[in-house]
Amino acid sequence: MFDFLRTNLNNIRPVAPKQQKSATVSRVYPNLRPLEKDTVSFSGLDKNKMITDKTYYGGAGPKVRKLLAEAEEPRKEFERTLKKILAPYCCFDNNLPTHDFGRLVFNKKSERSLREKFVSREISDVEEAKNEIRDIIRGRIILDNPNTTEGANYICSALTKAVNEKKIKIVNIKSYYEMDKRYTNGEDLQYIPLKSLLKLDNAVTAKYGESAFKSGTSRENGYNAVHIIFELQNGYYAELQIMGKNVEKVKEMEDILYKIKGNKTIPPKYREVQEAYDKYVKGKPARERELSEYTRRVYNAQRLKELEKYPNIEQKEFLPLPINSKLPRIFDFNNLAKIYRSKD
């Protein structure tokens, strides 16, 4: 009997003792560097792709810094050129010219945003990035009197003249505006009339042999602006946006929603917005459509305000979220504006 037990006990594999639950769980993570302090999350990557230190920081970081360093001279030249061309029509550097139709401002993509682009688009080197990311260098004209097309027409004419003189090379022209008349009260919401854009494109075609104009585009979110892409020296491109001051207010906040939807980096003050989106909207098609529809109506209401064609213009700053909406009130653009203006 004892021999039997001894033989069979030798064949029994020991069972590991059950581990007690602990408040601190030990896990092994990749050796990632921490995010910058002003970010909550990062990456517009496919959820199934893994970001590692090598692909994200070790690979993209040095390339992005090189990309930005080499962009400095083209950026300065772009700013100097546009200022000369638009000096009679736009103000900048606190210098108000005689004819002032808008304000011209410049910026460039942040290093963090470019790192995300490198990873999400799987960009391998600086030369590829120059062609893939055409808004590294950016300018924006905020029209002061967008209730008429006068200022935008003058600006478009100045750009046409510069093309004819080969001071600038334009490779892409897009006019974003709402085409569905149910949202526009029957109004034409384009900032620059089609006739003026075609005249600019004719100059581009005559000088450079290829049309740059893309037919009017209606975005699902109701965004309204004109985007013009310039080809610069050293293979870089720059983007000029033209929009009204009311629409610009919406764009600044809608960009935050765009980043949240795309799982990109956002400032910490928007953490509550991100949490609300993840809990109440993300993965729920009906809520996602409702938020998109509301954003669309906000954009178009702001453009109609600029045209002085919107009723109750003196009430809320933005079109409020409908009372019967199932979205959390934090998505009301009037509430988003309060967060946007608050300090980090």
- Annotate 13-24 with DSSP letters as a single string: PPPPPPPPP-SS
Looking at residue 100, what is its pLDDT? 65
Question: Where do the domains of the chain lie?
Answer: 53-240, 255-341
Looking at residue 99, what is its pLDDT? 52
How large a percentage of the chain has pLDDT more than 90?
A: 48
Least confident of 33-37, 79-83, 206-210: 33-37
Evaluate if residue 41 carries a pLDDT over 70.
no
Element (H, E) at 96: none
The C-alpha torsion from 107 through 113 and 114 to 115, rounded to 10°, is 150
- Who has greater pLDDT, 90 or 6? 90
149: confidence class by pLDDT, cuts 50, 70, 90:
confident
The C-alpha torsion from 248 through 151 and 137 to 44, rounded to 10°, is 30
Evaluate if residue 8 carries a pLDDT over 80.
no
* Closest among 78, 186, 56 to 136, alpha carbons compared: 78
What average pLDDT score do residues 84-98 get?
A: 72
95: confidence class by pLDDT, cuts 50, 70, 90:
low
Evaluate if residue 304 carries a pLDDT over 50.
yes
- The overall average pLDDT reported for the chain is 81
Looking at residue 103, what is its pLDDT? 87
pTM here?
0.79
Evaluate if residue 27 carries a pLDDT over 80.
no
59: confidence class by pLDDT, cuts 50, 70, 90:
low
CATH architecture of structural domain 53-240 = 2-Layer Sandwich (3.30)
90 and 105 in contact (C-beta within 8 Å)?
no
Neighbours of 324 (CB within 10 A): 5
| Residue positions counted in the chain | 344
- Who has greater pLDDT, 92 or 158? 158
